[in-house]
Amino acid sequence: MLLTCITGCCRKGGSQKGFVTSVVACSPGEMKQEINGKKETVKGFNVKLQDTILFPEGGGQPDDHGLIGDVPVLRVTRQGAEAVHFVSSALEVGQEVQLKVDWERRFDHMQQHSGQHLITAIAESMFGYKTTSWELGRQRSTIELDTPSMKPAQMEALEVAVNEKIRAHVPVAVQVLSLDDPALEQVRSRGLPDDAAGPIRIIDIEGVDVNMCCGTHVSNLSHLQVIKLLGTEKGKKNKTNLLFLVGNRVLKYAEKSYSTERSLVSLLKTGPDYHVDTVDKIQKTVKGLQKSNLGLLRDVAVLIAQNFKSNPERGNFFTLHKKEGDNEFMSIIANEIGTEETLVFLTVGEEKGPGLFLLAGPSGKVSELGPRVLEMLQGKGAGKNGRFQGKVNSMARRGEVETLIQEHCKNEQ
């Protein structure tokens, strides 16, 4: 948890949506940002304010977003006892500015963070499972519990207990204590950060939990609406990860699940209660068809090879492309033809797209041509004992590869 009170958001509580402050520093900076699935460096400016209500990332909770005037705040980080706001445009030092919180993001974080405190406290009191870390994810959040496993009945009982506290409208209060206050000894904590300074903020869920934390929280457990425990996953070092949703995330999850259910009803032509059985039957049917198809492909591979071998004018080079097929299909053809004297070039996949290839024949020829084939088809692969095969990104130059191999065979005659 971020424990020191470095922002107005921490001191004043998490419900403040707007705030007037002034710029005290603005310097060029940069940040890593994910754009279209790739992390890229974005240039901008690091801004420090006289005071702020935007929470900096830390303690498992992501940062707030918002506006400084009309300039979007893309990230808020902590530097010692100060919050640094990364923006795309420079701001004038000394300028008075209106700070506005992205409230939808803030309230979501408040719900998830307060929900984590509640789950952590109840899990420890009911089962003795301590929380060793947690993460507020984009779609779901995770609590790492110090236990190798959690039984389904325990998770069910925990979910019932936390939702009972929500329905009980339990107040959540904020206290600020000095570092030397004896009351701190009675507060649950995983320790202060090395650079901790100033007063310590305490989150008190009445009769449930008292914990050091500088994150944003609701003022009453009823604001959490509901908590849904999704399940568990094996964690690191003999620990268990508990997955959960709180509040509006549960509603969005239910809406998405219902939409998926209606789509499946339309596709499967059965009611929701029969979806699992219907999909199971479809999978078994598909597996049976795939097995039959593979058998037919093997028969086709043998016929293709026999047809080539029966041709008196067959020459010493055979090539074939087929959309359907796999490595086994190509191997059968090569084995049936025999590659001691014949060079075989086979491909399967899309005409101009990705696929598989096999080059088989006399070892010397294959060793010489294999790497060139790989380069021309933009692929990855390797070869030994007269065979070179792999995956390719594009079959667009397949015709050129055929010509290359044919010319090589002519030159060898």
Task: Give the confidence band of 152 by pLDDT, cuts at 50, 70, 90.
Answer: very high
Query: Above 80 in pLDDT, residue 13?
Result: no
Q: Are 306 and 318 in contact (CB under 8 A)?
A: no
Mapping DSSP to helix (H, G, I), strand (E, B) and coil, where does residue 41 land?
Answer: strand
Query: Above 70 in pLDDT, residue 7?
Result: no
Query: Above 90 in pLDDT, residue 16?
Result: no
Give the tens place of pLDDT for each residue, 114-138.
999 999 999 999 999 999 999 999 9
Query: Above 80 in pLDDT, residue 111?
Result: yes
Looking at residue 191, what is its pLDDT? 57
Instruction: Put the strands of the sheet holding 200-205 in their side by side order.
Output: 172-177, 200-205, 209-212
**Over the chain, what is the mean pLDDT?**
89
Q: Are 228 and 244 in contact (CB under 8 A)?
A: yes
Looking at residue 6, what is its pLDDT? 45
The 3-class secondary structure across 147-178, one letter per residue, is CCCCCHHHHHHHHHHHHHHHHCCCEEEEEEEC
Query: Above 60 in pLDDT, residue 193?
Result: no
Of these ranges, 26-40, 117-131, 367-381, the one predicted with the greatest mean pLDDT is 117-131
Q: Are 86 and 79 in contact (CB under 8 A)?
A: no
Task: Give the confidence band of 291 by pLDDT, cuts at 50, 70, 90.
Answer: confident
Other C-beta atoms within 10 Å of 20: how many?
A: 10
